Amino acid sequence: MAGLVPPGATAIPAEASKTAHTKAEEKTDYMNLPCPIPFEELQREALMSLKPETFEGLRFDFTKGLNQKFSLSHSVFMGPTEIPSQSAETIKIPTAHYEFGANFIDPNLMLIGRVLTDGRVNARVKWDLTDNLSLTNEPHMSHGMVNFDYKGKDYRSQFQMGNGALFGASYIQSVTPHLSLAGEVFWAGQHRKSGLGYAARYETDKMVAAGQVASTGMVALSYVQKVSEKVSLASDFMYNYMTRDVTASVGYDYILRQCRLRGKIDSNGCTTAYLEERLNMGLNFILSAEIDHSKKDYKFGFGLTVG
């Protein structure tokens, strides 16, 4: 008798009850939104697939850890370097340099320094003052930049100062669990230029879409589709409505058990491929290729990374 439905009552199907319960659980809690990624990383997934660090020539990198926090690095590069030219042809000169680096990485402090034989000195300091506030200093090539980053519960803000009277600020806010909106402003006092920009990012487990618009004339759109845990397809679109320059590209990111392969082709006919093969623990072999038939520019490189 307990299983009988009383007269006048309507039995609710089990599937409908489950669907209603799921929708109730998926109701957005706007007081508990996730913290968005930093403003400068809005299109990081697309950049990883479409803009690998290609090079031409020979590269060798060796990193030796002295303890859990301190390590030294040595890098050797031999290959041509492009120089500016007013002609359509690409002019290259043979170069070679050695780079020495020192790294100190602590949960709250990061110090990175680089010295090159051609006279360049690079340095980066990142200091987490609190769990929410961090300070970054990046002096390099007679230029300096100081960043103040604040991480809120569902937002991030950044303030930048640099020599040459350069000032900038950015803010990104989570609007829904998947959508973030952002804005930035900068002022370059030395060149008497200012700019304002807006951005949006939508992210799910299967895709990432981002777009940026700036008063300088630049429009940047990107989309990444995660086909599986190992395969991603990406595309981007760059348009400058001041100069009427348009560039679009499509690419892929394929992660295998022992290697990672990335490549792209753009609307100018430039094709790029980048392969990282893990030969052993701490030993990677790198192949890089970039072919631009329109400019008759062909770049091939190989390298080895140890440590």
- pLDDT for 3 equals 47
CATH number for the domain that contains residue 220: 2.40.160.10
Q: Which residues of the chain have pLDDT under 50?
A: 1-6, 8-9, 11, 17-18, 20-25
Is the entire prediction scored with pTM above 0.85? no
Q: pLDDT value at position 12?
A: 52
Domain count, the chain: 1
In a domain, 30, yes or no: no
What's the CA gap between 78 and 57, in Å, rounded? 6
Q: What is the pLDDT of residue 24?
A: 43
Domain containing residue 177: 39-306
- Strand runs (DSSP E) across the chain, as ranges? 57-65, 70-83, 91-105, 109-116, 121-128, 133-137, 145-151, 155-162, 166-174, 179-188, 193-203, 207-214, 218-226, 231-240, 245-255, 259-266, 270-280, 283-292, 297-306
In the prediction, which pLDDT does 5 show? Answer: 47
CB 215 within 8 A of CB 225: no
Of 60, 150, 75, which Cα lies nearest the Cα of 118?
75
Instruction: Quote the CA–CA distance of 170 and 149 in Å, as a whole number.
Output: 10
Task: State both tokens at 109.
Answer: 């402090």
Residue 203 to residue 223: CA distance in whole angstroms: 10
Residue 34 lies in a domain: no
pLDDT at 26: 61
pLDDT at res. 15? 53
pLDDT, tens digit, 9 for 90 and up, residues 205-250:
999 999 999 998 999 999 999 999 999 999 999 999 988 899 999 9
Q: Look up tokens 């990111």; give the residue.
A: 253
128-137 contacts: CB < 8 A, separation 24 or more?
A: none
Per-residue pLDDT of 61-70, as tens digits, reads 999 999 999 9
Q: Is residue 252 part of a domain?
A: yes
> Is residue 1, in this structure, part of any structural domain at all?
no
In a domain, 26, yes or no: no
Residue 178's pLDDT is 94
The three-state secondary structure class of 46 is helix
203 within domain boundaries: yes
* pLDDT value of residue 166: 87
